[in-house]
Amino acid sequence: MKHFDISEWTDLARGAISAPNRAAMDAHLSSGCARCRSTLDFVGRVFAVAQAAHSEEPPVDAVRWAKAIMAMQRPPRTRGLRLVGRLVYDSFRDLAPAGMRAGDQVFSHALYEAGNFCLDLHVERERESATATLVGQLTDRDDPDRPMAGGPVLLRSRKTVVAHTVYNRFGEFQLAYPSAPYLRLSVAIDQAGKRIELPLSSLGDDPLRRSPFPRRRK
């Protein structure tokens, strides 16, 4: 008995087969071939699932921000797409009381400006913890009360994304991230891929330029 292969049964399920071949395959099924009937049933289920998935449209917001994240992952084609934040406030320059410095939690606060935007960042971690929490807010300095469009926020270690989220209409976001070298924060401003970038380690004396994790002695 000649059996038909899975590609032929797939064409039959899709209705993409000639009339003579269809007649031959129907006759083969009528002969009682359980193997080919099982193959046809399988490809028929796969085709039905594929048709159902094709008819479902993903949410517009999900598509928009997926495109924005992909744009942020690519290197900027022009310098105009990237704004480097300028540090205007550093809490580590304000010496905390001795009791707070000796506590179990470490806090830092930094304020950056980039173009007409302001980025307010707070870092918190437990002294013995392997992760830290970054809480931030993006605002427009020219119009602080206007709602933000919402957009992706990525935290990278070199080329690897270690944490990501989306800020809300108030520009607020929160990230939990592990200890990693060369951390850089990217905050999208628009769908074209324009963003603010901030190095969060190896930047000198400010809290976000140096790692929030103590170095181990060798």
pLDDT of 217 reads 44
pTM, rounded to two decimals? 0.55
pLDDT of 64 reads 63
Q: Are 188 and 194 in contact (CB under 8 A)?
A: yes
Question: DSSP secondary structure string, 178-196?
Answer: E--SSEEEEEE-STTS-EE
Going from N- to C-terminal start, the domains of the chain cover 6-55, 61-199
How far is residue 210's CA from residue 19's CA, in Å, rounded to a whole number?
72
pLDDT tens, residue by residue, 18-76: 888 888 888 888 888 888 888 889 888 888 887 777 666 777 666 666 666 665 555 54
Specify which residues 152 forms β-bridges with.
166
Regions of the chain where pLDDT drops below 70: 1, 54-56, 60-80, 92-105, 191-192, 201-218
How far is residue 199's CA from residue 208's CA, in Å, rounded to a whole number?
7
User: How many residues does the structure list for the chain?
Assistant: 218
- Of the CA atoms within 13 Å of residue 108, those in its CB half-sphere come to 22
In the 8-state DSSP scheme, what is residue 38?
H
pLDDT of 214 reads 40
